[in-house]
């Protein structure tokens, strides 16, 4: 690390440098510190970190972003991080070059804290169909990568996710994104204020989308229906830039009409993952036309 705060060292043009990753996360973590202190009403400290974010982001752009606005490390990982962490001078740059799979895997997992359990099987075949753990050398029974995928299924497909601006699930985001051949999803989560449940169905023939949402007492939900999402993939995934309708406690129903979205079609054409989750305090079931892609266990 040099005097600027960024990592020093040479670039690996094929794989992308470790410095690029470290510097991207330095900007991201510093931004989170600013948000935390603003939520705690420590405005002087928040202002200090916000100024530091601007400085670090500018340094990152000078080092890793070309004058034309493209990432020097032209890989899905680097492009995705730059988009998710708002590191581009123009946040829409390269937005359509990121596949759904890369976008999903870029999401950081919300580490489960219920009962101190956070294990998720780390390879597609860690658990065999008969329930036996695969004895292969590459088996990892506590890997975050598939927890990221599960978190994406829970938040993007199922539609339930926390809001950075309102910690503790006092308010939460509901924004399901039907895609590919998904026509139904049911998602539930036992939050600090009680049981949250979102169910939706989509009829390809008519385009009718229906959703029911249960909001627990003393909390609220910011709801964005699929028909209200932008066609731009960056805006569709950026919660901070999406408006919605706020609803309070109780059972709510919604409906809209939409055309088939292909945002994640390539992801669901891949081999069906076998993922078992333990201690997440949630249950997600996704029903494509032909097969169930995620199974959960309590």
Residue that finishes a domain, picked among 66, 97, 128? 97
> Are the C-beta atoms of residues 19 and 7 closer than 8 Å to each other?
yes
The arithmetic mean of pLDDT across residues 25-45, rounded, is 93
Residues 84, 123, single domain; the answer is no
Q: For residue 7, tell me if it sits in a domain.
A: no
- Extract the tokens encoding 28: 């991201």
Is 32 in the same domain as 79?
A: yes
What is residue 133's three-state secondary structure? strand
Encoded tokens for 82: 């730059």
206-253: pLDDT as tens digits: 889 999 999 999 999 999 998 887 654 444 444 545 678 999 999 999
Q: 139 and 234 in one domain?
A: yes
Question: What is the average pLDDT across 50-67?
Answer: 92
Residue 295 falls inside a structural domain: no
Q: Which two tokens stand for residue 238?
A: 């950026």
Residue 243's domain comprises 106-288
Is residue 22 a contact partner of residue 63, using CB atoms and an 8 Å limit?
no
Beta pairing, strands 182-191 & 160-162: unpaired
Reported confidence tier of residue 45, pLDDT bands at 50, 70, 90: very high
Strand 208-215 and strand 171-174: the pairing is unpaired
Edge-to-edge strand ranges of the sheet holding 250-257: 250-257, 208-215, 194-203, 182-191, 282-288
Q: Are residues 267 and 122 in the same domain?
A: yes
Q: Is residue 136 part of a domain?
A: yes
Whether 298 is in a domain gets the answer no
Evaluated on CA atoms 272, 273, 279, 282, the torsion sign reads: negative
Domain endpoint, select from 70, 97, 124: 97
Residues 36 and 141 in one domain: no
Q: How far apart, in whole angstroms, are the C-alpha atoms of residue 117 and residue 1?
A: 35
By CB neighbour count within 10 A (0-12 exposed, 13-18 middle, 19+ buried), where does 105 fall? middle
How many domains are contained in the chain? 2
- The two three-digit tokens of residue 114, written as one number: 């219920």
Residue 71 has pLDDT above 60, yes or no: yes
Considering the entire predicted model, what is its pTM? 0.58
- Regarding whether 275 and 150 lie in a shared domain, the answer is yes
Residues 67 and 166 in one domain: no
> Are 175 and 195 within 8 A, CB to CB?
no
Q: Which residue, 93, 141, 172, 163, is CA-closest to 278? A: 141
In tens, the pLDDT along 176-191 reads: 988 777 889 999 989 9
- Does any domain span residue 293? no
How many alpha carbons lie under 13 Å from residue 247 in its C-beta half-sphere? Answer: 19
């Amino acid at each position: 690390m040099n005097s600027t705060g960024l990592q020093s060292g040479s670039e690996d043009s094929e794989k992308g440098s470790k410095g690029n990753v470290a510097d991207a996360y330095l900007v991201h973590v510093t931004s989170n510190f600013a948000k935390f202190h603003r939520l705690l009403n420590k405005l002087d400290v928040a202002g200090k970190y916000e100024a530091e974010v601007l400085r670090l982001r500018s340094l990152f752009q000078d080092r890793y972003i070309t004058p034309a606005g493209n990432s020097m490390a032209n890989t899905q990982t680097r492009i995705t991080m730059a988009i998710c962490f708002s590191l581009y001078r123009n946040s829409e740059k390269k937005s359509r070059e990121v596949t759904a799979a890369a976008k999903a895997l870029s999401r950081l997992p919300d580490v489960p804290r219920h009962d101190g359990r956070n294990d998720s099987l780390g390879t597609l075949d860690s658990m065999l169909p008969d329930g036996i753990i695969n004895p292969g050398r590459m088996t990892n029974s506590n890997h975050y990568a598939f927890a990221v995928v599960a978190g994406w299924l829970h938040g993007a497909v199922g539609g339930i996710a926390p809001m950075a601006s309102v910690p503790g699930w006092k308010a939460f985001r509901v924004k399901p994104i039907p895609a590919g051949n998904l026509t139904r999803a049911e998602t539930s989560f036992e939050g600090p204020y009680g049981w949250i449940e979102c169910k939706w169905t989509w009829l390809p023939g008519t385009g009718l989308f229906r959703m029911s949402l249960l909001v627990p007492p003393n909390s609220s939900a910011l709801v964005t229906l699929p028909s209200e999402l932008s066609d731009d993939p960056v805006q569709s995934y950026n919660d901070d830039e999406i408006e919605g309708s706020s609803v309070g406690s109780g059972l709510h129903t919604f409906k809209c009409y939409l055309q088939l979205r292909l945002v994640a079609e390539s992801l669901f054409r891949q081999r069906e993952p076998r993922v078992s989750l333990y201690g997440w305090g949630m249950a997600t079931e996704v029903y494509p036309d032909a097969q169930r892609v995620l199974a959960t266990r309590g």
